[in-house]
Amino acid sequence: MTYQALVARENTVALETITDEDLPNDGVTIDVAYSSLNYKDALAVTRRGRIVRRFPMVLGIDLAGTDIETGAKVLAVGQGLGESEWGGYTQRERVRADALVPLPDGMSLEQSMQLGTAGFTAMLCVLALERNEVLPDEREVVVTGAAGGVGSIAVMLLSRLGYRVAASTGRPELEPYLRGLGATSIVAREELAQQGAPMQSERWAGGIDTVGGTTLANVFAQTSYGGAIACCGMAGGHELAAAVWPLILRNVSLLGVSSIRTPRARRLEAWSRLARDVDFAKLAELSGKEPLSRVFELSEELLAGRVRGRVVIEMSPA
């Protein structure tokens, strides 16, 4: 049998035909039903970021499908897929057993990829805030980059869990969309993107930041005593020009969140919570489904900030 796969080589990214003989030697063989499009995927597809660690590489940091030997429904996000190990933009893949987790009860394969790395990361951020006792309160929790994949799902999750959520976005036309996800207020991107004082008036109980740079510095400076910020992205910059004052004088915590090498126990916890806490009707509304053949143009649109919510990449049956 032959399969379509999106393969990165040193100087090209193209759809290619592969066979079982081309797949990695070790691992569980999966008939892939769906993947998804994340910011990191878009960087790899357009060759604008140093995502791929070795060549040739099948791209796609997420996948969901069926173990061909047992018939079990499984999924994988991160864990080196699409970077150091062949990923999910293919109709069939062979994946390390320890990278896979079972599909949670009550969740479909498609729904798992409506979430994908973005939803998984959003839940890791929520768990980080909960562990640091940032709980529902009168004061809002801010989500930056709120119209993106991680941001949209973070707004929805926090609202469902009883938080008051301020959604920060540079697209004011999306205010109805964000309020539909549960945002209690909308913050213009420019309000947080301008250089501010290292210590500002207390405004947020905490935050989920997908932007980094000056935006993160301002959220840090505006977080109230005992608050915490889960930092998971740097679309707005990788540098952080901030003073230590909020750390010491306000006991504010900066929490780094990465989905790449999450231990299995934490992955299982996050997926169990997603199955319980996600509003799947709203998730469907913020998600679209596209064929692998459109991944090039969709990647350009995502990097240009023209994609709202989540994009599921559908694979034809192997």
The answer to whether residues 184 and 213 belong to one domain is yes
- With a CB cutoff of 8 Å and minimum separation 6, the contacts of 183 are 143, 146, 155, 159, 165, 166, 167
Asked if residue 110 belongs to a domain, the reply is no
Last residue of a domain, one of 214, 241, 256: 256
Q: What is the CATH number of the domain that holds 79?
A: 3.90.180.10
In the structure, what pLDDT confidence band is assigned to residue 38 with cuts at 50, 70 and 90? very high
Sign (positive/negative) of CA torsion 222, 228, 234, 237?
Answer: positive
**Percent share of the chain, pLDDT over 70:** 99
Mean pLDDT value of segment 206-234:
97
The answer to whether residues 140 and 213 belong to one domain is yes
Place of tokens 């889960």: 230
Mean pLDDT value of segment 123-134:
98
Alpha-carbon distance of 121 to 139, in angstroms, equals 23
The pLDDT tens digits of the residues spanning 17-32 come to 999 999 999 999 999 9
The answer to whether residues 94 and 153 belong to one domain is no
Determine how many CB atoms are found less than 10 A away from the CB of residue 47.
14
The pLDDT tens digits of the residues spanning 243-285 come to 999 999 999 999 999 999 999 999 999 999 999 999 999 999 9
Asked if residue 15 belongs to a domain, the reply is yes
Residue 301 has a pLDDT of: 96
Give Cα 198 to chain centroid, integer Å: 29
Last residue of a domain, one of 256, 273, 306: 256
**Percent share of the chain, pLDDT over 90:** 97
Residue 318 has a pLDDT of: 54
**Beta sheet of 165-169, edge-to-edge order:** 185-188, 165-169, 141-143, 204-209, 223-231, 253-256
Asked if residue 112 belongs to a domain, the reply is no
Asked if residue 124 belongs to a domain, the reply is yes
Contact 166, 184 (CB under 8 A): yes
The answer to whether residues 27 and 97 belong to one domain is yes
Burial class (CB in 10 A: 0-12, 13-18, 19+), 14: exposed
Asked if residue 270 belongs to a domain, the reply is no
The pLDDT tens digits of the residues spanning 60-72 come to 999 999 999 999 9
The answer to whether residues 57 and 32 belong to one domain is yes
Tokens found for residue 299: 């990647």
The answer to whether residues 183 and 79 belong to one domain is no
The answer to whether residues 124 and 247 belong to one domain is yes
The answer to whether residues 50 and 150 belong to one domain is no
pLDDT at 139 over 70: yes
The answer to whether residues 140 and 250 belong to one domain is yes
- Main-chain dihedrals φ then ψ at residue 140, nearest 5 degrees: -75, 155
Asked if residue 277 belongs to a domain, the reply is no
Residue 118 has a pLDDT of: 96
Alpha-carbon distance of 278 to 92, in angstroms, equals 28
pLDDT at 93 over 90: yes
- Main-chain dihedrals φ then ψ at residue 297, nearest 5 degrees: -70, -35
The answer to whether residues 178 and 293 belong to one domain is no
Q: What is the CATH number of the domain that holds 178?
A: 3.40.50.720
The pLDDT tens digits of the residues spanning 73-84 come to 999 999 999 999
Supply the range of the domain harboring residue 96.
2-103+286-314
Instruction: Indicate the number of domains in the chain.
Output: 2
Asked if residue 265 belongs to a domain, the reply is no
- With a CB cutoff of 8 Å and minimum separation 6, the contacts of 99 are 76, 79, 80, 81, 85
The answer to whether residues 211 and 129 belong to one domain is yes
In the structure, what pLDDT confidence band is assigned to residue 316 with cuts at 50, 70 and 90? confident
pTM listed for this prediction: 0.96
Whole-number Cα distances in Å, 233 to 75, 172, 210: 23, 21, 4
Contact 312, 289 (CB under 8 A): yes
Mean pLDDT value of segment 171-199:
96
Say whether the peptide bond before residue 104 is cis (omega within 30 degrees of 0): no
pLDDT at 299 over 70: yes
Mean pLDDT value of segment 155-168:
98
The answer to whether residues 161 and 199 belong to one domain is yes
Asked if residue 269 belongs to a domain, the reply is no
